[in-house]
Amino acid sequence: MTVTAPPVVIETPPAIATPVRAGAGSKVLAWVIMLAGVLYFFAPLVATGERAFRAIGRTFSFEAFRRVITDPEFLRTFGESVINAVATIVVSLLVIVPTAYWVTLKVPKLRSIIEFITLLPFVIPAVVLVFGLIRMYSRPPLAILGSYGSTRIILICAYAALSFPYMYRSVDNGLRAINVRTLTEAAQSLGATWPTIVWRVIFPNLRVALLSGALLTFAIVIGELTVALYLGQHTFGPFMSNLVRNFVAEPAALTILSFAMTWGAMGFISYLTRRQPGKRRMRRRP
């Protein structure tokens, strides 16, 4: 009787995938794309700066900036827009933060509906919004557009509505980054009421998100033209529009100033973000 030995199966080890390294051509392409992006964003700014700093002849001068800053309308309209921006930020925070907090904690199924409502300012043009406000609040029983002060209140409410898409997403992202339920239960176990929880627990933990939303809201209010123009408000947007129609170098100087203020605000937010308590380094004891 012949016994046949089973065949010997030799398993080959799996091939180790070698990492694909980017060649010289891909690196060059990446640098070309980056340089193209830099030129696309900064070339108009450089041209604007060249026009602003060479207002008189071909010599370097700050004359255009001096004319803009010393214009009494500049300080008056800019101050009024800053006050409107601060009031808009306060109104927007008082509406958005409790709403987003309650939706996150109690009714998360309504998040899609709230997001759709906050996106309506992207769908409804500002000119349609302002004409609707004029039609509604210019005749009884809601005739409150008769004075400059009451019209300014309507303006601030309209700006708050325009800032909802930016403010809500900033607040919603901040709420998703923290454990809202645990913080709420801990505060309730200490006897805190709902207003105390929102003011002393939720607001401090959303500091960076609130600053980001406030910066976007401030930029919207400062540069907005349509609503302020049709409501007859003497704000910074109509002032810039009149300046562009009547002068050449001064609008360029005003653009450079606006960019400088925006970058300063972004740097301030970045500085506050780095100083968060959770990101501080532990100091060694001596």
**What pLDDT score was predicted for residue 263?**
77
| Structure confidence by residue, pLDDT tens digits, 139-183 | 778 778 778 888 888 899 999 999 899 899 889 888 888 888 888
Residue 261 lies inside a defined structural domain of this protein: no
Q: Do you know the residue count of the chain? A: 286
Count up the domains in the chain and report the number: 1
Residue 103 lies inside a defined structural domain of this protein: yes
| Structure confidence by residue, pLDDT tens digits, 180-226 | 888 888 988 888 888 888 888 888 888 888 888 888 888 888 888 88
Residue 185 lies inside a defined structural domain of this protein: yes
Residue 256 lies inside a defined structural domain of this protein: no
| Secondary structure letter of residue 147 according to DSSP | S
Decide: 151 and 233 in contact? Cβ < 8 Å: yes
| Structure confidence by residue, pLDDT tens digits, 98-121 | 999 999 888 888 888 988 988 888
Look up the CATH number of the domain holding residue 212.
Answer: 1.10.3720.10
CA separation for the pair 96, 108 (Å, rounded): 15
Residue 136 lies inside a defined structural domain of this protein: yes
Cβ density class 69-91: b for 16+ within 10 Å, e for less: eeeeebeebbebbeebbebbbeb
Residue 134 lies inside a defined structural domain of this protein: yes
Q: Which domain holds residue 94?
A: 83-250
- Alpha-carbon distance values, 125 to 77, 89, 209, 250 (Å): 24, 21, 26, 29
* 29 or 13: which leads in pLDDT: 29
**What pLDDT score was predicted for residue 191?**
87
| Structure confidence by residue, pLDDT tens digits, 233-272 | 888 888 888 887 777 778 888 888 877 877 777 777 667 6
Phi, psi of 13, deg, nearest 5: -65, 145
CA separation for the pair 175, 124 (Å, rounded): 27
pTM: 0.76
Residue 7 lies inside a defined structural domain of this protein: no
**What pLDDT score was predicted for residue 282?**
40
Rounded mean pLDDT of 269-276? 64
Structure tokens given for 114: 């709230």
Ranges 20-34, 121-135, 174-188: which has the least confidence:
20-34
Residue 126 lies inside a defined structural domain of this protein: yes
| Structure confidence by residue, pLDDT tens digits, 29-50 | 888 888 888 888 888 888 777 7
Rounded mean pLDDT of 71-89? 88
* Nearest Cα residue to 273 out of 224, 215, 212: 212
Decide: 63 and 55 in contact? Cβ < 8 Å: yes
CB atoms within 10 A of CB 121: 18
CB atoms within 10 A of CB 101: 22
CA separation for the pair 177, 209 (Å, rounded): 10
Decide: 180 and 253 in contact? Cβ < 8 Å: no
CA separation for the pair 177, 15 (Å, rounded): 41
pLDDT at 91 over 90: yes
